[in-house]
Amino acid sequence: EITRWAARIAAQVEAAFGGVAGLTLEIHAEDAVISALEQAFLATGAWVWAPLRTATPADRVQWYEGRTSHMPDTRQRSDHPSPPRRPEGRPTGQARGLSRRITEEFCQGVWDVTRRKNRGTSPLGFDTFSPGLGRRSESPPLTAVERSDSRHRERGSGWDSLPEMVVAGMLRDAGAGDPEVRRFLTFAAAMNRGQDPDRLWLAALDLLREAPWAFIPERAALADPHRLEAALEAAELSQAPQVDAAAWQAIARALAPVGRTPSDGESAVSRAVAFGQGDAAALLAALDEVAPETGARRFPLLCAPRTASRWIRLLAVPGKARIARLSRLPVTVDASVRRATECLGISQTRGLPLENARPTIQELWWEDVDAIGTAGPPELEDTAAALEPALTYLGRWGCFACERAQTRLPVGPICSECRL
């Protein structure tokens, strides 16, 4: 319960300030609340500073009395000081061919986080160090797909361990066709506000089971907004139900008018979702389309910088769409990718807002991918799109965990490149 509360608080703060990446937030609360908020804000790229976390009551009184003379320097995190930052986060090193090495290790499944200390379980009850979601169900009705009670037994990394891969397989086992899977991936991807991937995809499954109409564009577009808000909130898919329901319906309206052939599709996005055909560069441009009748974006949230490239990758894998020019996609940069890039000594962007750091990080990885390539599924081989899941995994399960423990906890051979 406290984890969900913290996620809502983080979403509200992020919405109110238009993003909090790179900021340090001072929090005064009991330890359990601080820990929950620290996890929630970590996903947004913000740092949490809790000056009185271990203070005694007497220390607290003394601290507050001298508050004006003891203000922290919030330009850096108190327990992890940043080294001097170069202007605009310019690179402090090169990618050194690591894009190939990272993706090869990820594909081989050699990264293992099961031997770390302080193991726990995710809020949904799945092993946090085994990102799979459980065994696939054996052909239940599509709207009756259930979460598996048995934990995924595989350890380590790999494409098959990604939650979106497991969920897409569950849907296909339940009888869904590729267009239905791509619609599911599209709506769920739009709801990604940096929350835990397992939570995101399982919550989307919950919504599909309880409100299958939400994934049918024609029905979702005409649904009562309050009904959709309630469904999103009940499934715990949305951290801001009113805003997300409006975005969901805008996307549904844009996807609804599709003809019988690809040429009948109203936009590149609707054609890619319905018919599995598209061009990566054209899709990126199409996500910025504005509805002429309202002047608003036709694909809100989906067009966000940390979502757009990832969504196109999802259409291809696991959505099975044939997307041309995937090599034009930059690597998706979120808090996890940024942290992995910094820990590998490829760039130093701490202190910069994520939006300012993103172009530098994308440029560095793009140059490396262009020179050395990447490993991955055939559809994504030698593209930056194949690098994103590996970097996200490394940052999420490796770098952030090391930072919290304040010691090195290697997950695999690539950690020998860590510059911390």
Cα dist. 47→38, 53, 75, 113, 400 in Å? 7, 15, 10, 24, 12
How confident is the model over 84-89, as a mean pLDDT? Answer: 36
In this model, does residue 155 exceed pLDDT 60?
A: no
Residue 234: the pLDDT is: 96
End-to-end C-alpha distance for the chain, whole angstroms: 34
More confident: 3 or 216: 216
**Res. 233 pLDDT band, cuts 50 70 90:** very high
Q: Compute the chain's Rg from CA coordinates.
A: 21
- Backbone phi, then psi, for 127, in 5-degree steps? -60, 120
* Amino acid at site 32: A
In this model, does residue 92 exceed pLDDT 50?
A: no
More confident: 78 or 314: 314
More confident: 279 or 194: 279
Q: Name the residue among 221, 219, 236, 201 with its Cα closest to residue 6.
A: 236
How confident is the model over 63-81, as a mean pLDDT? Answer: 39
In this model, does residue 136 exceed pLDDT 50?
A: no
**Spatial separation of the C-alpha atoms in residues 77 and 406, rounded to whole Å:** 13
Q: Name the residue among 287, 294, 323, 327 with its Cα closest to residue 308.
A: 287
Task: Give the number of other CB atoms < 10 A from CB of residue 64.
Answer: 11
DSSP 103: H
How confident is the model over 289-293, as a mean pLDDT? Answer: 83
**Res. 209 pLDDT band, cuts 50 70 90:** very high
pTM: 0.71
- Give Cβ neighbours of residue 179 (< 8 Å, ≥ 6 apart): 273, 274, 275, 276
How confident is the model over 337-359, as a mean pLDDT? Answer: 90
Mean per-residue pLDDT of the chain: 79
Q: Are strands 47-49 and 24-26 parallel, antiparallel or unpaired?
A: parallel
- For the chain, the domains span 2-59, 87-417
DSSP per-residue string spanning 332-374: P--HHHHHHHHHTTS---TTS-HHHHHHHHHHHHHHHHHHH--
**Spatial separation of the C-alpha atoms in residues 96 and 343, rounded to whole Å:** 14
Share of the chain above pLDDT 70, in %: 74
Residue 63: the pLDDT is: 56
Residue 311: the pLDDT is: 97
